[in-house]
Amino acid sequence: MFEKILIANRGEIACRVIKTARRMGIRTVAVHSEADAGALHVEMADEAVAIGPAPSAQSYLVMDRIVEACRATGAQAVHPGYGFLSEKEAFPRALAAAGVTFIGPGPDAIAAMGDKIESKKLARAAGVSTVPGYLGDIATEEEAIRIAREIGYPVMIKASAGGGGKGMRIARDDQETRDGLRSARNEARSSFGDERVFIEKYVTQPRHIEIQVLADTHGNAVYLGERECSIQRRHQKVIEEAPSPFLDEATRRAMGEQAVQLAKAVGYSSAGTVEFIVDAARNFYFLEMNTRLQVEHPVTELVTGLDLVELMIRIAAGERLPFRQEDVRLCGWAIEARVYAEDPKRNFLPSIGRLTRYRPPAHDPAVRIDTAVAEGGEISMYYDPMIAKLITAGPDRATATKAMLRALDAFQIRGVEHNIPFLAALMAHPRFAEGRLTTNFIAEEFPDGFRSRDLDADGVRALVAVAAAMQARREDQARTLSGQMPGQGRRPRTDWVVRIDRTNHPVRVTATDGGADVVVDGRTIAVRSVWAPGDTLWTGTVAGETVAVQIDPAGIGCRLIHGGTVIEAAVLEPRAATLADLMPVKVPPDLSRFLLSPMPGLLVSVAVKPGDEVKAGQELAVVEAMKMENILRADADAVVAKVHAAAGDSLAVDQPIVEFA
């Protein structure tokens, strides 16, 4: 077994590998860019080596610096994590030349599966079911149309070297094939330096289901069940679970056996994932093979009881798999939600900044959190904006889902925008509960983007009861303050009005041991909690159900965050509530005359000057965030009155860039 390994990655996956290595008694080496000098993975490792400036192209993607770090520290092996160099066939070759073991598959297997066209040809030759399509080079638009007609519309045009949803277009007729071919080629060329594309049948009502495989260097290979990854946004996974609520045992076995056939056909060793597209009739077709550990591997670990990182290390050290296929058992259910620093209400634009509050759910055996951040840490503009992976488990899908909803409600993040309300809305959606998932789920259920989920009447009553119980606790505390004049102390009050969005909810509150009984709409709701004034998280039971509510101050009341929604509540005396009805409503200022920055970032350029006449759709400015350029265009014809920012300026969210007359 290795004595020391280097992790050629950063963030939560680097921390994840370090935890397993530490448990195995293996010393670890972290590498880091200048931006990550104080990162958690650097702190956790036994040694750390600086490898360059913040941009990944100058640090984490520079093979020579990783190899040199191995030489300098005496690391015997390298775990690549995922992303960065994990699927570059040149990386294991460079390590081998330096006498360092790569904890992953051999370079030939990486090369074979790295090209989408060649991998489909290999899969077809290995007896793996593939989507009907044309895998040769496509020279002209006319040829593409002929092929699409032969396959039958709709078709998918895909970049051969693609990934992450880039270079993909759906075509439903000849014109869309022309346009899609041109766009997919341009995107593939700019993203991967390879403009080759192929065409295959587009599967309607598709599910994205993947099989986890493990293979050693002695010819043994097994599959560890499947992961359902159908809930995606722009081809990026959002929610993953194991097992799939859709597969039956026969389909699971057939998919698993074909995945193993493919692994053996390319001489695969280590952990890998074979991805399939599955239609409504449970027909499945090979999509691609990821020759690395997947982001969503924890759900497989929780239902199999296996540590995939440990098994990868042992396989790389030459050990045989310690079990056979018949020994693999799937037990219970696990769900993973990816928590990102992004703003769902602004079309999921990335959010950067410092985590002024980062408090994950309290310890719960049903909850696992993989993260690399802590309170006070910073979400950098240079890397993926993932904050954490939240994973829950239970004996069945319903239990794991409830645990996820509770954990999301209790996950406190401030300082950056985040997608927790969106994740909660997904988990609470009736269609998710029914397991009716496709890769179009988000597009179909949130066609106009995300807005805070509307609570039903029971949900509103529950939050009204919590707000009233918190007020009763504050009143109880106020009665204990010293210095009150005899006979003039604070007297308990039972009648209150909880005001939510200018709607008054009269309540009657009776304090009890450990909480209060609150009468709302004629119903008595038992509220029990050990919450104390000043706490930012209320946890307890409402009518016997476990509930978590986050609390932020907001004017004379507070902001309550629960179940994917945010409401502002004020608990008032009845007379004060009556007077509040007479108060004028503050109208937000009209900002339609301004071009505002939709995100924090760097202003790359401004294309207009005062006095310019602009047309709808015309480029006005370019803002860079997370190393992605965002072009801001005019919504309507207008005349530029003033330019408020210049190229090179750092912008905050909603900072004015251009003002129109």
- Quick: pLDDT tens for 587-612: 888 888 999 998 888 899 999 999 99
Percent of the chain having pLDDT more than 70?
98
CA angle 484, 489, 490 (to 5 degrees): 125
pLDDT tens per residue, range 545-603: 999 999 999 988 999 999 889 999 999 999 999 999 999 888 888 888 999 998 888 89
Chain centroid offset of residue 562 CA: 19
112 lies in some domain: no
- Backbone dihedral angles phi then psi of residue 595, each to the nearest 5 degrees: -95, 115
Same domain, 394 and 274: yes
288 given a catalytic annotation: yes
For 8, 58, 137, 489, 527, the CA distances from 39, given in Å and listed in that order, are: 14, 18, 45, 52, 41
Structure confidence at residue 628 (pLDDT): 67
120 lies in some domain: no
Is the pLDDT at 274 greater than 80? The verdict is: yes
Is the pLDDT at 630 greater than 90? The verdict is: no
Structure confidence at residue 97 (pLDDT): 97
Is the pLDDT at 135 greater than 80? The verdict is: no
Mean pLDDT of 391-400: 98
pLDDT tens per residue, range 444-470: 999 888 887 788 889 999 999 999 999
Same domain, 532 and 618: no
213 lies in some domain: yes
Mean pLDDT of 487-508: 87
Same domain, 25 and 150: no
Domain count, the chain: 5
Burial of 375 (C-beta count, 10 Å sphere; 0-12/13-18/19+):
middle
Q: Provide the CATH number for the domain around residue 99.
A: 3.40.50.20
Q: Provide the CATH number for the domain around residue 619.
A: 2.40.50.100
Structure confidence at residue 164 (pLDDT): 60
553 lies in some domain: yes
- d(CA 292, CA 270) in angstroms, rounded, equals 8
Decide if 48 contacts 259 (C-beta within 8 A).
Answer: no
Same domain, 423 and 309: yes
Is the pLDDT at 349 greater than 90? The verdict is: no
Tell me the residue range of the domain where 510 lies: 457-479+492-580
Structure confidence at residue 595 (pLDDT): 93
127 lies in some domain: no
Structure confidence at residue 163 (pLDDT): 65
Q: Which of 89, 228, 288, 342 is catalytic?
A: 288
- Give 513 or 277, the one with higher predicted confidence: 277
Mean pLDDT of 58-75: 97
